[in-house]
Amino acid sequence: MAPIARTAPAMSDETVDLKAEFAAAGLGDDLDQLDRDLVGLAPVKARIREIAALLLVDRVRQRLGLVTEAPTLHMSFTGNPGTGKTTVALRMAGILHKLGYLRKGHLVSVTRDDLVGQYIGHTAPKTRDVLKRAMGGVLFIDEAYYLYRPENERDYGQEAIEILLQIMENQRDDLVVILAGYGAPMDRFFASNPGFRSRIAHHIDFPDFGDDELLAIGEIMVGQLNYRLSPAARDALADYIALRKAQPLFANARSIRNALDRARLRQASRLFASPTPVASADLSVIEAIDIRASRVFMTQA
């Protein structure tokens, strides 16, 4: 059967206030929250705004009766740990919900262990259960390349991949899948699984944070917990960041959060050991000694 020719609708003098449409959808709240949640990541935030603008225009085109088809919204987030991939996925779910592309707008975050079984007949029900929970929202698969293990002939990851690909194609109007992980392994994963690459519309790379950005992130983190860094502690954290980044397994904001959690433990122990009552204001102050007691500084000696 020959394809049916479609005639473009006649142009009219009607105007559309896209900024008003943007405000009415409440997108500014999500994007502003993304700016507050994440320091830096300018190229990532710019790409998210571009996607939001594209979908807003698409929604208006549908309302005006212009010929359109549902956009492919599956995504790939690549970058090192602690660069904000999960946070951006959560905000993306909210944006898609407000624009009407997702029924619920929730985020279900999983890894290989949540999808792949250990014996025959175990993988399919596990994968389908995860997909059932994710329907109407975003399924975020971290370290997605672990789904594919070609070196193990008895691995069941391929079964999960086949189910995912089918759902990504047939139910793309009710589920958005975001695959995440390190850049190079993700490239190899896509090369080995072309079905995934063909279904991914948006590839977004998350750069590492700079030293100043990590310091700002640390100050935001302690502020959210109703703590603050003394001026000397701020200098100590800056020194910590420079030293920690040079060590293995550095995970950007995640490593800073772990360091500050340990600093709070040292602060509590220090205050508890005081022979005299402590001022209530001291309960909320992280001092330099609480940070410089880290083993990171000991390796410098």
Distance CA 206, CA 82 (A): 10
**Confidence bin at 37 (pLDDT 50/70/90):** confident
Structure tokens at 177: 């899948």
Cβ 76 vs Cβ 179: under 8 Å: yes
Strand partners, 204: 77
Predicted confidence at residue 193, as pLDDT, reads: 87
Identity at 122, one-letter amino acid code? H
Structure tokens at 213: 């950005």
Q: 155-202, pLDDT tens digit by residue?
A: 788 899 999 999 999 998 899 999 999 999 999 999 988 888 889 999
Number of H-type helices and E-type strands within the chain: 14, 7
**Confidence bin at 4 (pLDDT 50/70/90):** very low
- Tell me if residue 298 falls in helix, strand or coil: helix
Backbone angles phi, psi at 286, to 5 degrees: -90, 125
Quickly name the fold that domain 18-206 has.
Rossmann fold (3.40.50)
Those residues whose C-beta lies under 8 Å from the C-beta of residue 209, and which sit 6 or more positions away, are 39, 40, 41, 82, 83, 217, 252, 253
Cβ 56 vs Cβ 74: under 8 Å: no
| Residue with tokens 């009710």, as numbered in its chain | 174
Q: What does pTM read for this prediction? A: 0.86
Backbone angles phi, psi at 137, to 5 degrees: -145, -150
Q: 266-281, pLDDT tens digit by residue?
A: 999 999 999 999 999 9
Cβ 73 vs Cβ 172: under 8 Å: yes
18-206 and 211-298 in the same fold: no
Structure tokens at 93: 């779910």
**Confidence bin at 301 (pLDDT 50/70/90):** low
Structural domain spans, the chain:
18-206, 211-298
Those residues whose C-beta lies under 8 Å from the C-beta of residue 271, and which sit 6 or more positions away, are 278, 282, 283
Structure tokens at 160: 């999960």
Q: Cα–Cα–Cα angle for 202, 217, 213, nearest 5°?
A: 75
* Class at the top of the CATH hierarchy for domain 211-298: mainly alpha
Q: Cα–Cα–Cα angle for 188, 190, 192, nearest 5°?
A: 70
Distance CA 116, CA 119 (A): 9
Structure tokens at 112: 């290989």
Neighbour tally for 58: CB within 10 Å: 17
Structure tokens at 66: 């212009």
Cβ 201 vs Cβ 168: under 8 Å: no
Q: 128-148, pLDDT tens digit by residue?
A: 999 999 999 999 999 999 998
